[in-house]
Amino acid sequence: MDKASQELARSVPEGLSKSFRARAERSDVPRTTLQHRARGRPSKEKKDEGQRYLYPWEENALVRFIVQQDALGRSIRMKYLRSIAFSLASQRPPADRPSKPPYRNWPQDFYKRRAELRASKSSALDWNRYDIYNKVVQWFEVIGKVLEDPAVLPENVYNMDETGVMLSKLNSVKVLVGKDNKRGYRGARVKRTTITAIECVSAVGRYLNPMIIWPASTHRANWVTHPTPGWHYAYSDSGYTDSYLSLQWLKLVFNPQTKEQANQKPRVIINDGFGTHETLEVLEFCFENNIILCRLPSHTSHKLQPCDISVFSPLKTAYREQVERLERGCVGTIGKEHFTYLYSPARNQVFTSRNIRAGWAKAGLFPFNLDKVLSDIPKPLSEPNAPGTNEVRVGSCTHDQVPQTPVTPVSVEALTSLLDIIKQVPDDETNRQYKERLQ
């Protein structure tokens, strides 16, 4: 009951007035509300409940279904809720069935009044990057032992990564157009040339000078007319790094800029698993110079690499803003000779100590915090106990339970047994999900 109904149902001790005004003063409920409730007018919540599209038990069943599908990795799209609700209500007796689905905004009203649900944007992600929970746990066990070494100081821990910058790509911008304009784009001179920059940042917020790799068969002096002291330049046919350039980066960029500060203490480089980082020459050079290479597990850089987490995305946005500024200056075509002029201010804007340290914190490394990373990664479903080689165990399930998927059979007998079970499951909507899991 609502608060007013509770006050009216409560007995009044002897000696106290039973008037609506006196009850309102004792209960902090408006007098008019008590009068309305005494005359039979329902509360707003009760009235809304009576006007809802689904009955309470139907809503509970729908909530259980949504939660179950989400646990199975098949979250229900918001646009499908109205159709599902209509299908659910259509199972009532003919006289009580609705003639059409609920109103347009019903899904929003539905999840807002159910504490078990919330709306969320679900972006598409490669399955290899989705199921990385165990990889991350194992990585923290390994890197934790490296960082616990008293000789390893935060200022000597680095993350190196490459990023590709499209030479003349513009940002998406908000514009005012006529109401009949159906175009979702604008004209631009886009030269689809990608230039690679090798960047390196430390756990204390320091960053090294970059190595710029041109997509060319030779290097031209007019590409670097803008002053960039300390920068290094290289070229390759593809515009990407290779084993030779990785070694040259170590020798000409990383080692000279970090050796003196390290003072013979070990230096740690965290990088992705790209094969060019692990050639024999690279490993020999690192061994000779007390450099520890720590390779990230595959498909985890979007969660574990500080450069990817906090620097590269705003860097490309800032670069595109510089391209936009040059476009407004009526530059005909943006070429390689403009790159350093545009990239240098964008880099200075983004590569701040605060941004870099935020990336290390988000990666759970400084400060060291595994839970910081795992909180954003779905935990894998627990594995069922494996049956014998020639045995397939399939349990029954109810509508409120998540059906267990049997272990993949490893013998002809077990496969035949599973096939017989699948044939015995009825082909109806109730058992559809269960049968799919068996298949």
pLDDT in tens, 192-203: 789 999 999 999
- 335 lies in some domain: yes
In a shared domain, residues 337 and 439: no
Counting the structural domains of the chain, the total is 3
> Does any domain span residue 216?
yes
User: Would 120 be classed as within a structural domain?
Assistant: no
> Which is more confidently placed, 309 or 334?
309
Is there a single domain that holds both residue 12 and residue 104?
Answer: yes
The predicted pLDDT at position 174 comes to: 67
Q: Which of 374, 402, 421 is the last residue of a domain?
A: 374
Percent of the chain with pLDDT over 70: 85
User: Residues 392, 358: one domain?
Assistant: no
Q: Report the amino acid identity of residue 86.
A: F
List pLDDT tens digits, range 155-175.
999 999 999 998 887 766 666
pLDDT at 302 over 70: yes
If asked whether residues 101 and 142 sit together in one domain, one would say no
Report how far apart, in Å, the C-alpha atoms of 358 and of each of 179, 305, 311, 353, 366 are: 42, 12, 9, 8, 9
Q: Rounded CA gap, 183 and 180, in Å?
A: 9
Residue 275: pLDDT band (50, 70, 90) is: confident
Same domain, yes or no, for 144 and 46?
Answer: no
CATH number reported for the structural domain that contains residue 248 in this entry: 3.30.420.10
Asked whether residue 413 is assigned to any structural domain, the reply reads yes
- Same domain, residue pair 66 and 98: yes
Q: Are 318 and 350 in contact (CB under 8 A)?
A: yes
- The band of 308, judged by pLDDT with boundaries at 50, 70 and 90, is very high
User: Residue 229 is which amino acid?
Assistant: P
370 and 414 assigned to the same domain: no
Q: Are residues 282 and 341 in the same domain?
A: yes
- Calculate what percentage of the chain has a pLDDT beyond 90: 41
369 and 392 in a single domain? The answer is no
Q: pLDDT band for 393, please (50, 70, 90 cuts).
A: very low
Q: Which domain holds residue 429?
A: 382-439
**Alpha helix segments (H runs only) across 171-253:** 243-249
Is residue 180 domain-resident?
Answer: no
Q: Is residue 396's pLDDT more than 70? A: no
324, 340, 374 - which closes a domain: 374
Q: Which helix (H) or strand (E) holds 424?
A: helix 412-424
Q: Is residue 39 part of a domain?
A: yes
Residues 77 and 198 in one domain: no
Same domain, 105 and 24: yes
Please report whether residue 127 resides in a domain: no
Split at pLDDT 50, 70, 90, the class of 49 is low
- From the list 232, 223, 272, 273, the residue with the least C-alpha distance to 255 is 232
Which residue from 199, 196, 210 is spatially nearest to 159, judged by alpha carbons? Answer: 199
In a domain, 125, yes or no: no
159/81 same-domain check: no
pLDDT at 403 over 60: no
